C-alpha cells in the first residue's frame, strides 16, 4: 500500500467520525426543526383554507340577507344581518351593521338607522375606511332628520383636504347648513366642491344646483325688474296700442267737415251770330276751396279779346262759392244739400266764349 492510499483512508474515517459526532449532538434538533416546518406549513395552509371557507360562508349569508331586503322582507333581513353581526368572519359583522342601518333607513326608522351607523363608526376594530363611511351615512340621514350640530359632530373631521371622504362630508355639512338657513356656510362649501377638480361629477352637479337654488332664494337688489314684471308692463300696452291709436282718428273723423265733391266740367253757353248756333267750349271748373279755410275762389283772368264784330255776353251773376259762375250749370249731385252758397262783395264776369270758326 502506498502512502497516498493510507492517508486517504485515514481522512475518510476522520470525516465519518465528525459527522457521527454532529448527528449524535444535533440530530434531534435538526429532526425537530424539519418536523416543525412541515407542521407550520400545513397549519398555515389549513388556516388559509379555513378562513376562505368562513369568508365564503359569511359572504353567502350576507348576500342572502340583502336579497331578503330587496324582496320586501325587511324584518327577516334584519334578523339575518343581526346573526351575521354577532357571528361572522372578517369585516362582515361591520358590513352587516351598516346594512341594518340601510334597511332601517328604507323603512323610515331614521333613529335606528343613525344608531346602527354610529355603532360601526365607534367600533375601533373596524377598518378606518368603513368607520368613516358609516359616519358619512349617518350624517346624510341627519341632514333631513337632525340638526346642523349633529351632522358636524360626525363628519366635521372628514372635511379636511387630506381626507378621502372630504367631498361627501362637505356636501352633508353644506346641505345641513342650507336647511338651517346658514346660507353663507352652505355657499362656501358648495363652491369648494364646484372648484375642486377631484370632486365626483355627481357631487359637482348637485353643488351647482344648490348654488343656483341659494342664489334664486336671495332677495333681489332694489330697483331690479324681474322678467315677468317686464312682460306685465309691456303686454297690456301692446294689446291696447291699436285702440289708443284709433281713438284720435275716430275723433278726427267726427269733427272734420265732409269733403265737397268736385264739380264736373260744364259747357259755357254758346254765342250766336246771325241766328246760327256756335259750338260750345267746355270750361273746367276751378278747384273747390277747402271748407276749413272758406276762401273765396280767385277771380277769373281778364276777358280775352274777341274778334271784330263778335258780341260777348256780359251778364254778372254772384258766385256760388264753388268756383262756378252759373249756379244752374252745377249738377245736382255736385251741389251738397247742406252747403249754402256764399256771395262775394264784387261780382265776377263770366268767361268769354271763343269766337266761332270762320267768323269775319
Looking at 21-30, 46-55, 70-79, 152-161, which range is the least confident one?
Answer: 21-30
Q: Which three cell numbers stand for residue 245?
A: 291709436
Q: What is the pLDDT of residues 7-40, one digit of tens each?
A: 677 778 778 888 888 888 888 888 899 999 999 9
Grid cell at residue 86: 354577532
Share of the chain above pLDDT 90, in %: 42
Residue environment code for 311-341, b if the CB has 16+ CB neighbours within 10 A, otherwise e: eeeeeeeebbbbbbbeeebbeeebbeeeeee
Task: Provide the pLDDT for residue 1.
Answer: 52
Q: How confident is the model at residue 126 (pLDDT cuts 50, 70, 90)?
A: confident
Could you give the 3-state DSSP secondary structure of residue 282?
strand
- Strand 282-283 relative to strand 266-267, pairing: antiparallel
Question: Can you give the pLDDT at residue 105?
Answer: 93
Question: How many alpha carbons lie under 13 Å from residue 196 in its C-beta half-sphere?
Answer: 24
Question: What one-character-per-residue DSSP string does 192-252 give?
Answer: HHHH-TTS-HHHHHHHHHHHHHHHHHSPPPTTPPPHHHHHHHHHHHHHHHHHHHHHHHHHH
- pLDDT over 50 (residue 287): no
Q: Which of 26-30, 131-135, 241-245 has the lowest mean pLDDT?
A: 241-245
Greater model confidence, 325 or 57 = 57
- Which of 146, 216, 208 lies closest to 179 in space, CA to CA? 146
What pLDDT does 9 receive? 75
Does 248 have pLDDT greater than 80? no
Query: At 104, phi and psi to the nearest 5?
Result: -65, -40
Beta strand 348-349 pairing with 316-317? antiparallel
The confidence score (pLDDT) of residue 341 equals 47
In whole angstroms, give the CA distance from residue 234 to residue 240. Answer: 10
Given a cut of 80, is residue 342 above it in pLDDT?
Answer: no
Residue 223 — pLDDT band, cuts 50, 70, 90?
low
Mean pLDDT value of segment 155-172 = 93
Say if CB 266 and CB 330 are below 8 A apart: yes
Check residue 221 and give its pLDDT. 54
Q: Is 272 helix (H, G, I), strand (E, B) or coil?
A: strand
Pairing label, strands 272-273, 316-317: unpaired
In the chain, % of residues over pLDDT 70 = 59
- With cut-offs at 50, 70 and 90, classify the pLDDT of residue 191: very high
pLDDT at residue number 315: 46
70-79 contacts at long range (C-beta below 8 A, 24 or more positions apart): 74/103, 74/106, 74/107, 77/103, 78/103, 78/104
Q: Across the chain, what does the average pLDDT equal?
A: 72
Answer yes or no: is pLDDT of 347 > 70: no
Is residue 149 within 8 A of residue 127, CB to CB? The reply is no
**pLDDT surpassing 70 at residue 304:** no
Q: How far apart are the first and last CA of the chain?
A: 201
pLDDT at 324 over 50: no
pLDDT beyond 60 at 93: yes
Is the pLDDT at 99 greater than 70? The verdict is yes
Furthest-apart CA pair in the chain: how many Å? 205
174: cell is 353644506
Query: Lowest-confidence range among 72-76, 181-185, 250-254, 328-332?
Result: 250-254
Is 303 in contact with 352 (CB distance < 8 Å)?
Answer: yes
Amino acid at each position: 500500500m502506498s502512502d497516498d492510499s493510507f492517508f486517504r483512508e485515514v481522512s475518510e474515517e476522520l470525516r465519518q467520525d465528525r459527522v457521527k459526532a454532529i448527528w449524535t449532538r444535533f440530530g434531534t434538533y435538526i429532526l425537530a426543526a424539519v418536523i416543525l416546518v412541515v407542521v407550520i406549513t400545513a397549519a398555515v395552509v389549513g388556516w388559509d383554507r379555513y378562513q376562505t371557507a368562513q369568508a365564503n360562508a359569511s359572504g353567502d349569508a350576507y348576500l342572502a340577507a340583502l336579497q331578503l331586503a330587496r324582496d320586501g322582507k325587511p324584518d327577516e333581513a334584519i334578523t339575518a344581518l343581526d346573526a351575521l353581526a354577532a357571528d361572522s368572519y372578517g369585516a362582515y359583522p361591520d358590513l352587516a351593521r351598516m346594512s341594518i342601518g340601510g334597511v332601517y333607513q328604507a323603512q323610515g326608522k331614521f333613529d335606528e338607522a343613525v344608531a346602527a351607523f354610529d355603532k360601526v363608526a365607534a367600533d375601533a376594530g373596524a377598518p378606518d375606511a368603513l368607520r368613516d363611511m358609516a359616519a358619512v351615512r349617518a350624517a346624510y340621514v341627519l341632514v333631513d332628520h337632525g340638526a346642523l350640530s349633529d351632522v358636524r359632530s360626525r363628519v366635521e373631521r372628514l372635511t379636511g383636504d387630506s381626507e378621502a371622504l372630504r367631498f361627501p362630508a362637505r356636501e352633508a355639512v353644506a346641505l345641513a347648513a342650507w336647511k338651517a338657513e346658514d346660507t353663507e356656510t352652505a355657499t362656501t362649501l358648495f363652491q369648494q366642491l364646484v372648484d375642486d377638480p377631484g370632486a365626483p361629477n355627481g357631487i359637482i352637479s348637485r353643488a351647482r344646483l344648490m348654488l343656483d337654488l341659494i342664489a334664486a332664494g336671495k332677495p333681489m337688489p332694489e330697483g331690479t325688474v324681474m322678467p315677468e314684471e317686464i312682460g306685465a308692463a309691456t303686454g297690456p300696452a301692446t294689446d291696447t296700442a291699436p285702440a289708443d291709436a284709433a281713438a284720435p282718428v275716430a275723433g278726427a273723423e267726427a269733427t272734420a267737415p265732409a269733403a265737397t265733391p268736385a264739380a264736373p266740367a260744364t259747357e259755357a253757353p254758346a254765342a250766336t251770330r246771325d241766328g246760327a248756333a256756335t259750338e260750345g267750349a267746355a270750361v273746367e271748373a276751378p278747384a273747390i276751396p277747402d271748407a276749413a279755410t272758406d276762401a273765396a275762389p280767385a277771380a277769373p283772368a281778364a276777358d280775352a279779346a274777341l274778334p271784330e264784330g263778335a258780341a260777348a255776353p256780359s251778364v254778372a251773376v254772384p258766385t256760388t262759392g264753388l268756383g262756378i259762375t252759373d249756379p244752374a250749370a252745377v249738377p245736382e249731385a255736385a251741389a251738397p244739400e247742406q252747403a249754402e252758397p256764399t256771395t262775394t262783395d264784387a261780382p265776377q264776369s263770366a268767361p268769354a266764349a271763343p269766337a266761332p270758326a270762320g267768323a269775319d
